[in-house]
Amino acid sequence: MRLMRVAAAALLVLLVNGAAAAETPTRLFAGLDPAKPDRAQSLATDHSDWHKDAIVYHLWVAAFRDSDGDGIGDLRGIIQTLDTLQELGVNTLWLSPFFKSASTIRNLHGYDIIDHREVDPRLGKNEDADALIREAHARGLRLIFDFVPNHLSTQHPWFIESRDPQSPKRDWFVWRDHQPTNGWTGFDRRSDWHAHNGAYYYGIFWSGMPDVNHRNAAVRLELARAARYWLDRGFDGIRMDAVRYLYENLKGDGAKADQEDQPESAAWFEAWRREVMDPYTAQGYAKFMVAENWTNEREGLLTYLRYEGRPGVHMTLNFPMLRAFTQLDTAVARELWEWGAILPPDAWLGNFVSNHDMAADRPGTLFAGNPEKLRAQTAWLLLGPGTPFIYYGNEIGQPQGQQRGDTRHRQPLDHKELAKQRDDQDSIWHWHRRLIQVRRDHSSLRRGKARFLETDAGNKVLALWREADTERTLTILSGSADSLPTLTVKLPRDLQRPPAKWVLGSGPMLVNDKGALSLGPWAPFESKVLLWGK
């Protein structure tokens, strides 16, 4: 009997400890000081998920605006253009990497960082970053910075120290004594193990950007401190670079699966959310992180949004959606928006139509000579579910450059064209401005889940029914190259009455005795929005 009681007690202890172990998530950034947001510089938040209402402008710092005539865009140039960005209506700016980097002028991508706490002298000074934060926040514009947890430059002092096998920083990078003869070829056919003094370090992108060893607690902590340095100063969030490559399976033989999407990488972001980001929310300064996980597999997007039932990144960039946007493919768009509607409540997607990489052509090039398609793509981005990201220059339909490689996507913004389009009510800039205003004015367009109504135009036309708060909207996006004399939409059973008004577009509307809404006429690729009151 006594023995049984002891056994039962032991079992109870086991159960309690077991439960506690499951509930206490691992700390990965032990030693991090409390978050200390600069209250004069930071913008307070009234809700922690403001990123769902964001309209992001993705800005390439070196190409945006040159304030001092040296030919390179800079932080001061951004300050000079804030009024125009505010006029456009975006509310969040994503700055491409501006930390001191080893990048050459020709391809100033900045992802090879030398100093995480210093602005690259070609782009400005730390005081300019402070001034930018102050001036942006004064206009209600939030700022997020690009952060690179996977790698840094061979010229970074941490790596220079690490080259000495006796250095305490040797383990901050991934070193081996022998170069594997097979596998580990990442993005090209060359080995990702790079020689130095008879040893080999791992760098998946190229020899100039060694991967950090995230199994080392000290280097993890230093990276968290570096990000905190800018978050404390007033930045509102982080765009996380190359999240798929944080950890490698070093016990593997270097197959593709050993080099990407390790469970430890997802666990890292869950811990970062909890330990690095959430403490700001607790103080009324919610910040968010958006992940670049470049994959066309939709399941791959989910990996980083949740880990073991806890939230990871707040948002992930929606790479699979590029196919829908670049081809104006209604079937793909519908499938992905329907999928987005069944994700866990805190899993959120960010949409874009082009970026600084080779992911897609700029719309100004892709749809050159097709203004109606350019306007349609803009509408799909700005009216559809998911936070929109506008890559600088796309708001004026600027074509990409003629260069080979990705620098063609990072050419200077044409400020003369921008000024011209601001004076022209029919310009693509004004179309962006109009759609942004419609999105800002309607919570159903920002937060409502997508549900599709059937139309008599078949799958060539999307009719998105969305609800939030006290409003309901119907967004109709035509992917048809033909004009339609009328378009008939089957309304939900409980709402067979005419809409209150046009929010975007115009034309006659009529509900027939079968509860269908007749609208028309419809131009090729036209987009319109109707509003019902509750």
Complex with Ca ion: residue 202 or 288, whichever CB lies closer? 202
Complex with Ca ion: residue 146 or 211, whichever CB lies closer? 211
Whether the Cβ atoms of residue 301 and residue 287 lie closer than 8 Å to each other: no
Shortest spacing between CB 205 and Ca ion, in angstroms: 9
Nearest to Ca ion by Cβ — which residue?
Answer: 211
- DSSP 8-state secondary structure symbol assigned to residue 455: B
Complex with Ca ion: residue 131 or 523, whichever CB lies closer? 131
Nearest Cα neighbor of 75 from 147, 126, 141 is 126
Q: Residue 105 interacts with Ca ion (CB under 5 A)?
A: no
Is the peptide bond preceding residue 521 cis, with omega within 30 degrees of 0?
A: yes
Complex with Ca ion: residue 202 or 431, whichever CB lies closer? 202
Burial 331-341 (b: 16+ CB within 10 A, else e): ebbbebbeebe
289 backbone φψ class: left, alpha, beta (φ>0; ψ -120 to 50): beta
Residue 403 one-letter amino acid: Q
Residue of 112, 128, 192, 211 that binds Ca ion (CB under 5 A): 211
Q: Which of residues 137-176 bind Ca ion (CB under 5 A)?
A: 150
Q: Which of residues 478-517 bind Ca ion (CB under 5 A)?
A: none
Whether the Cβ atoms of residue 412 and residue 406 lie closer than 8 Å to each other: no
Binding mask 401-440 for Ca ion (x = CB under 5 A): ----------------------------------------
Shortest spacing between CB 343 and Ca ion, in angstroms: 27
Whether the Cβ atoms of residue 65 and residue 81 lie closer than 8 Å to each other: yes
Give the binding range for Ca ion (CB under 5 A) out of 30-38, 110-118, 208-216, 456-464. 208-216
Tell me how far apart the alpha carbons of residues 7 and 42 are, in angstroms, rounded to a whole number: 56
Shortest spacing between CB 122 and Ca ion, in angstroms: 7
Complex with Ca ion: residue 35 or 123, whichever CB lies closer? 123
Separation of CA 504 from chain center: 27
Complex with Ca ion: residue 251 or 493, whichever CB lies closer? 251
Binding mask 241-270 for Ca ion (x = CB under 5 A): ----x-------------------------
Give the start-end residues of each E strand in 243-309: 288-291, 306-307
* Structure-derived torsion over alpha carbons of residues 66, 70, 72, 76, reported in degrees to the nearest 10: -40
User: Quick one: which H or E segment has residue 351?
Assistant: strand 348-352
Shortest spacing between CB 151 and Ca ion, in angstroms: 7
Shortest spacing between CB 245 and Ca ion, in angstroms: 5
Shortest spacing between CB 68 and Ca ion, in angstroms: 5
Complex with Ca ion: residue 66 or 128, whichever CB lies closer? 66
Q: What sign has the CA pseudo-torsion 124, 126, 128, 129?
A: positive
Helix (H, G, I), strand (E, B) or coil at 82: helix
Q: Residue 70 interacts with Ca ion (CB under 5 A)?
A: yes
Whether the Cβ atoms of residue 318 and residue 384 lie closer than 8 Å to each other: no
- DSSP 8-state secondary structure symbol assigned to residue 501: E
Nearest Cα neighbor of 269 from 224, 231, 203 is 224
Give the binding range for Ca ion (CB under 5 A) out of 24-32, 209-217, 315-323, 469-477. 209-217
Complex with Ca ion: residue 191 or 527, whichever CB lies closer? 191
Give the binding range for Ca ion (CB under 5 A) out of 48-56, 58-66, 446-454, 523-531. 58-66
Q: Residue 66 interacts with Ca ion (CB under 5 A)?
A: yes
Shortest spacing between CB 70 and Ca ion, in angstroms: 4
Nearest Cα neighbor of 91 from 375, 288, 326, 330 is 288
Residue of 72, 85, 347, 396 that binds Ca ion (CB under 5 A): 72
Q: Residue 297 interacts with Ca ion (CB under 5 A)?
A: no
Give the binding range for Ca ion (CB under 5 A) out of 40-48, 188-196, 240-248, 428-436. 240-248
Residue 92 corresponds to which tokens in the numbers above?
């969040």
- DSSP 8-state secondary structure symbol assigned to residue 167: S
Tell me how far apart the alpha carbons of residues 144 and 290 are, in angstroms, rounded to a whole number: 9
Residues in contact with Ca ion, total (CB under 5 A)?
8
Shortest spacing between CB 416 and Ca ion, in angstroms: 18
CB atoms < 10 A from the CB of 316, how many?
26
Give the binding range for Ca ion (CB under 5 A) out of 69-77, 86-94, 447-455, 483-491. 69-77
Complex with Ca ion: residue 74 or 236, whichever CB lies closer? 74
- Cα angle 311, 151, 272 (rounded to 5 degrees) comes to 20
Residue of 68, 253, 441, 482 that binds Ca ion (CB under 5 A): 68
Complex with Ca ion: residue 69 or 140, whichever CB lies closer? 69
Helix (H, G, I), strand (E, B) or coil at 309: coil
Q: Residue 389 interacts with Ca ion (CB under 5 A)?
A: no
Binding mask 9-28 for Ca ion (x = CB under 5 A): --------------------
- Please report, as ranges, the residues that interact with Ca ion according to CB under 5 A: 66, 68, 70, 72, 74, 150, 211, 245
